[in-house]
Amino acid sequence: MVELKRSFYEGDTLKIAKELLGKYLVLKNPTESYIVKIVETEGYIGAIDKAAHSYLNKRTPRTEVMFGPPGHAYVYLIYGMYCCLNIVTQKNGEAAAVLIRGVEPIEGIEMMSINRFSKKLEDISKKDIYRLTNGPGKLCMALGITREDNGRDICSNNFYIAEGKYEEFEIVTTKRINIDYAEEAVDFPWRFYIKGNAFVSKKTPKRGELI
DNA sequence: GTATGGATTGTC
DNA sequence: ACAATCCATACT
């Protein structure tokens, strides 16, 4: 697989959010390694996006990573219990990122089952297999991604995204999930997923949300 | 120091 | 429909 270069992450956030679909996230730890296919993403663009932590280019200790160079991980704690993984996009100094909302296990699924349910893969139901990584908090738990990974370079040899084999799929575009507070930004069509993929987070768009 | 609420998830 | 859970942020 061909590892994406940092220049891939430097461009337009929404373009990158779409292009990340179908690509492979690789995470190699000393004791285990994971490969997952990215199937659902959302774009967040600080300068103009009320849903973004860095709205109006607000710099705080937490949002600092979003302003940094592209191709790094922005990991934050949400609701006091889950972590969310983003990939920082756009040029150094511009606050933007792509939230990874859903991935499909390719390699390391046995360990993902342990991480998520403290059970061996063979001891979970077929239905639970699809609940391993179909949400931003779930996939971080499955891959063991924590706030320790905040700021981590995603153009390295043990943490990177790669171009997979060519695959035909349809991209669905919708509003983003759980940003009701974001006023005009609630309607921005900045969520993208692979149509029909079983690891897209289960919230299906309501009437009128499809673009 | 105190208050508020969230880019979620699982259970009721 | 709602609780869990705790940190980041914005106040005093």
Q: Does any strand C atom come closer than 7 Å to the Cβ of A50? A: no
Q: Å between A83 CA and B7 C1'?
A: 10
On the question of pLDDT at A166 being above 70, the answer is yes
Q: What's the CA gap between A202 and A204, in Å, rounded?
A: 6
pLDDT score at A202: 81
pLDDT score at A158: 98
pLDDT tens per residue across span A102-118: 999 999 999 999 999 99
Q: Å between A68 CA and C8 C1'?
A: 19
Q: Å between A63 CA and B6 C1'?
A: 15
User: In sequence order, what DSSP letters do the residues of A135-158 get, joined into one string?
Assistant: SHHHHHHHHT--GGGTT-BSBSSS
* The one-letter amino acid at A118: S
- The average confidence (pLDDT) of chain A is 96
Q: Does any strand B atom come closer than 7 Å to the Cβ of A199? A: no
pLDDT tens per residue across span A50-86: 999 999 999 999 999 999 999 999 999 999 999 999 9
CA distance to A53, A59, A60, A186, per residue, from A181 (Å): 12, 20, 20, 8
At residue A161 the predicted structure's pLDDT band, cuts being 50, 70 and 90, is very high
At residue A138 the predicted structure's pLDDT band, cuts being 50, 70 and 90, is very high
Residues ≥6 apart with Cβ < 8 Å to A70: A6, A9, A10, A87, A88, A89, A90, A91, A92
Mean pLDDT for the stretch of residues A15-21: 98
Q: Å between A166 CA and C7 C1'?
A: 41
pLDDT score at A137: 98
pLDDT tens per residue across span A2-17: 999 999 999 999 999 9
On the question of pLDDT at A207 being above 90, the answer is no
Model's pTM, two decimal places?
0.96
At residue A164 the predicted structure's pLDDT band, cuts being 50, 70 and 90, is confident
Mean pLDDT for the stretch of residues A79-107: 98
CA distance to A37, A190, A191, per residue, from A45 (Å): 23, 10, 13
Comparing every residue's Cα with the C1' atom of nucleotide C8, the nearest one is A62
pLDDT score at A128: 97
